[in-house]
Amino acid sequence: MLADDPLGAGRERPGDPGYVAAFEEVERDPRQVLAVAVLDGEVVGTLQLTCTPGLSRVGMVRGTIEAVRVRGDLRGRRIGEALVGWALEEARRRGCGVVQLTTDASRVDAHRFYERLGFSASHVGMKLAL
Residues that bind a second copy (CB under 8 A): 2, 8, 11-13, 16, 18-19, 21-23, 25-26, 29, 31-32, 34, 48, 50, 52-60, 62-64, 66-67, 88, 91-92, 96-105, 111, 114-115, 117-130
> What is the residue type of 65?
I
Greatest C-alpha distance within the chain: 44
Closer by beta carbon to a second copy, 42 or else 104:
104
> Least distance (Å) from a second copy to the CB of residue 25?
4
Closest approach of Cβ 36 to a second copy, in Å? 11
Considering the complex, what minimum distance in angstroms separates the CB of residue 74 from a second copy?
19
Q: Please report, for residues 15, 47, 78, 104, 112, the alpha-carbon distance to residue 121 in angstroms, rounded to integers and kept in the order given.
A: 35, 20, 21, 12, 10
Q: Judged by CB, which is closer to a second copy: 40, or 59?
A: 59
8 A C-beta contact, residue 121 and residue 115: yes
Q: How far is the CB of 84 from a second copy (least distance, A)?
A: 10
Long-range contacts of 50-58 (CB under 8 A, 24+ apart): 51/91, 51/94, 51/95, 51/96, 57/97, 57/98
